[in-house]
Amino acid sequence: MSKPLPAPDPAFVALRTTGSGSVAGAIVVSAAIGSIAGGLSGLVWGGIGGRIAMRIVLLTSDDRVRGITSDDGFRIGTISAATIFLLIFTTILGAMAGFASGLIRMVTAGPTWAVAIGSTVAAASIGGAAIVHTDGVDFRSLEPLWLTVGLFVLIPGLWGASVVIVTERILRSPSMTGLPAQIHRRYLGAVGWLALVAVTLLGARDLVADIGALA
């Protein structure tokens, strides 16, 4: 007597029965969830985390930097209206980047931990390159350089990991039943990895150049 066939994957059934519409639906939902996760992560890591990082490097730097206006427009060592602007800005920026992250996740084959690592490296590379710069006072006056650079490369990296993990957990939650949750394993699996590698290389090139100029 033959053994009964295993129950089909609900996500695969949804994919087979609803056709390309489910593909577009899953990608849109993933991008929307990624945008929300990105905004919240931007607030936590970029806004609050960024202020904590500035406080840390202030404590390790010479007292002469206290009260200097940073490259972001706020006085180092103080909390002002500019801090509120920073929180809003990092939330909006995080939401925009999270939208892209949600799209990339759906075309990136592999387990969550692997994609989270890839996104962490890519975000740390391109985010660090955007934050670290050779002009202004932040990275020339705050000391030590390795700590200042390290913290502001770490922050976007933590953002990247958070967005992938939160987005994936929501997509795989019972409330998302009916969406092809495994679509990223069946469609354009290499596209996301190519994008992550390209972003990493571009960011690393600029980041290394800036660090070399500052050292």
If pLDDT is split at 50, 70 and 90, which confidence band does 183 have? low
- Specify whether the CB–CB gap between 129 and 212 falls below 8 A: no
In a domain, 4, yes or no: no
pLDDT tier at 63 (50, 70, 90 boundaries)?
A: confident
The structural domain count of the chain equals 1
Cα four-point dihedral sign 74, 80, 85, 90: positive
122 phi and psi angles, rounded to 5 deg? -65, -45
Residue 12 is assigned to a structural domain of this protein: no
- Read off the amino acid at residue 114: A
Q: Is residue 179, in this structure, part of any structural domain at all?
A: yes
**Structural domain contains residue 11:** no
**pLDDT tens per residue across span 130-182:** 999 888 677 777 788 899 899 999 999 999 999 999 988 887 777 766 554 55
Domain interval for residue 61: 17-214
Question: Would you say residue 153 lies in a domain?
Answer: yes
Average pLDDT, rounded, for the chain: 81
Q: Please indicate, yes or no, if residue 7 is contained in any of the structural domains.
A: no
d(CA 85, CA 69) in angstroms, rounded, equals: 15
Structural domain contains residue 103: yes
Q: Which distant-in-sequence residues (6+ apart) come within 8 Å of 38 by Cβ?
A: 94, 95, 96, 97, 98, 99, 101, 102, 159, 163
Residue 10 lies in a domain: no
pLDDT at 3: 54
